[in-house]
C-alpha cells in the first residue's frame, strides 16, 4: 500500500541530485583535463610571445591567434625525436613481449607441473614481489657496468639491452599468471596428456588460448610501468642514440632558454599516441588495473 505513494516523490527528489552529480563530475573532469588541454593548445601556438602573454588567462586553453605546426617542426629540428620515440617503443614492447613468454612459462610450471623445490620456488617468487626495483638500482648499476656482451664490449652501459633484459622477468607478473592458471580446469590437459601431448604443446595450444585476459592484463601493466621508465635510463644511458623519450624530454627541458611551445609540442607527441591507444582499448586498460588490486 505504501510503495506507490513513495516512488513518485523519490523520483522527484532524485532529479536535483542527478543534476548535482553531473555538475560535480564536470568540475572534476575539468580538473583532470586542464593540463592536457593546455599542453595540446600551447603546442599549436607558434608565437612564443603569445604563449607567455596568454599563459595567465583563459586564452591559454583556447586555440587563439596564429596556429601552426611550427613547434612540431622545431622539435624535429632540435632533437632526434623520432629516434627517442622508436627507442621507447622498442624498449617497452620488447620487455612486454619477452616478459609474457618467460613469466607465463615459469608460472605454468608452478601451477601445473610437479618438480622438486616447487613449493620453495613459489614462496621465493612471492617474496620477491616486495623488493622494489629502486632498492636494487645502485648495486644493479655496478653489475651491468661489468657484464660482457656479444659484441665484445665489457659493459652494458649505453645500450638497448641494459634497458630491456633486467625487466623481462617480473615476480608480480608471474604471480598474476600463476593465479589465473590455477583456475583453469585440469580436464582438458588431462585429456591431452592421455593423447601424449608434450607439456609445451599443452602450454602453447591449451593454456595460452584460454588465458588471453591475463596476458592482456600483464602486457598492459608492464607497458604502463616501463613506457615511462626514467630513473634507470637516467643512470645507464648517455648516448642519445639509445635514449628513451623520458630522458630525451628531460634533456630537452634543460636546454635554455626554454621554448615552451616546442616543449609542449614534444609533450603532445608523446602523450597523444598513448592516449589514442588507451581510448581504443579502454576496457582492457581498466580491467587490467582493476585486477592488479586483487593481490595481497
Using CB under 8 A as the binding rule, the residues of this chain from 231 to 270 that contact another protein are 231, 234-235, 245-247, 249-250, 253, 260, 263-264, 267, 270
Q: Which one among 6, 77, 120, 130 touches another protein, defined by CB under 8 A?
A: 130
The reply on whether position 97 binds another protein by CB under 8 A is no
Q: Are 44 and 68 in contact (CB under 8 A)?
A: yes
The reply on whether position 208 binds another protein by CB under 8 A is no
The reply on whether position 126 binds another protein by CB under 8 A is no
The reply on whether position 179 binds another protein by CB under 8 A is no
C-alpha cell at position 93: 614492447
Q: CA-CA distance, 190 to 10, in Å (whole number)?
A: 57
Between residues 67 and 290, which has the closer beta carbon with respect to another protein?
Answer: 290
Between residues 70 and 105, which has the closer beta carbon with respect to another protein?
Answer: 105
C-alpha cell at position 268: 603532445
Closest-CA residue to 72 (of 244, 272, 246): 272
Smallest distance, Å, CB 53 to another protein? 9
The reply on whether position 182 binds another protein by CB under 8 A is no
CA atoms within 13 A on the CB side of 115: 10
The reply on whether position 85 binds another protein by CB under 8 A is no
Between residues 76 and 230, which has the closer beta carbon with respect to another protein?
Answer: 230
CA atoms within 13 A on the CB side of 238: 2
HEC string for 126-151: HHHCCCCHHHHHHHHHHHHHCCCCCC
- Cα separation values, 78 from 63, 250, 263, Å: 24, 14, 11
The reply on whether position 83 binds another protein by CB under 8 A is no
Smallest distance, Å, CB 31 to another protein? 7
Instruction: Write out the binding residues for another protein, residues 2-61 only, by CB under 8 A.
Output: 18, 21-22, 24-25, 28-29, 31-36, 38-39, 42, 52, 55-57, 60
Between residues 76 and 253, which has the closer beta carbon with respect to another protein?
Answer: 253
Return the range that interacts with another protein (CB under 8 A); candidates 4-12, 63-71, 73-81, 100-108. Answer: 100-108
Smallest distance, Å, CB 94 to another protein? 13
Q: Please, where are the H alpha helices in the chain?
A: 3-44, 48-54, 70-78, 81-112, 118-128, 133-145, 161-168, 171-182, 187-194, 199-202, 208-210, 212-227, 231-236, 245-254, 260-280, 282-292
Return the range that interacts with another protein (CB under 8 A); candidates 62-70, 71-79, 111-119, 178-186. Answer: 111-119
Q: Are 42 and 51 in contact (CB under 8 A)?
A: yes
φ, ψ for residue 62 (rounded to 5)? -115, 145
The reply on whether position 214 binds another protein by CB under 8 A is no
Q: In this structure, how many other beta carbons lie within 10 angstroms of the beta carbon of residue 122?
A: 17
Instruction: Write out the binding residues for another protein, residues 138-177 only, by CB under 8 A.
Output: 138-143, 145, 165-169, 171, 174
Smallest distance, Å, CB 15 to another protein? 11
Smallest distance, Å, CB 183 to another protein? 17
Amino acid at each position: 500500500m505504501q510503495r506507490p505513494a513513495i516512488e513518485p516523490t523519490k523520483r522527484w527528489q532524485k532529479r536535483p541530485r542527478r543534476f548535482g552529480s553531473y555538475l560535480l563530475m564536470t568540475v572534476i573532469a575539468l580538473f583532470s583535463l586542464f593540463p592536457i588541454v593546455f599542453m595540446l593548445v600551447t603546442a599549436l601556438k607558434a608565437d612564443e610571445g603569445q604563449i607567455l602573454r596568454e599563459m595567465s588567462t583563459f586564452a591559454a586553453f583556447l586555440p587563439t591567434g596564429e596556429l601552426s605546426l611550427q613547434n612540431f617542426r622545431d622539435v624535429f629540428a632540435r632533437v632526434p625525436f623520432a629516434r627517442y620515440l622508436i627507442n621507447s617503443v622498442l624498449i617497452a614492447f620488447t620487455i612486454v613481449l619477452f616478459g609474457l613468454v618467460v613469466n607465463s612459462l615459469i608460472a605454468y610450471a608452478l601451477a601445473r607441473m610437479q618438480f622438486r623445490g616447487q613449493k620453495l620456488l613459489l614462496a621465493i617468487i612471492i617474496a620477491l614481489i616486495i623488493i622494489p626495483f629502486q632498492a636494487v638500482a645502485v648495486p644493479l648499476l655496478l653489475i651491468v657496468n661489468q657484464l660482457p656482451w656479444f659484441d665484445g664490449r665489457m659493459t652494458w652501459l649505453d645500450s638497448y639491452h641494459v634497458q630491456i633484459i633486467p625487466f623481462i622477468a617480473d615476480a608480480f607478473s608471474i604471480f598474476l599468471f600463476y593465479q589465473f592458471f590455477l583456475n583453469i580446469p585440469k580436464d582438458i590437459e588431462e585429456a591431452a596428456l592421455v593423447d601424449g601431448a608434450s607439456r609445451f604443446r599443452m602450454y602453447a595450444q591449451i593454456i595460452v588460448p584460454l588465458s588471453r585476459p591475463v596476458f592482456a592484463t600483464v602486457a598492459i601493466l608492464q607497458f604502463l610501468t616501463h613506457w615511462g621508465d626514467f630513473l634507470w635510463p637516467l643512470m645507464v644511458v648517455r648516448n642519445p642514440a639509445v635514449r628513451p623519450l623520458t630522458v630525451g624530454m628531460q634533456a630537452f627541458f634543460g636546454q635554455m632558454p626554454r621554448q615552451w611551445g616546442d616543449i609542449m609540442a614534444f609533450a603532445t607527441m608523446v602523450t597523444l599516441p598513448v592516449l589514442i591507444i588507451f581510448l581504443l582499448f579502454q576496457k582492457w586498460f581498466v580491467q587490467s588495473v582493476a585486477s592488479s588490486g586483487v593481490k595481497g
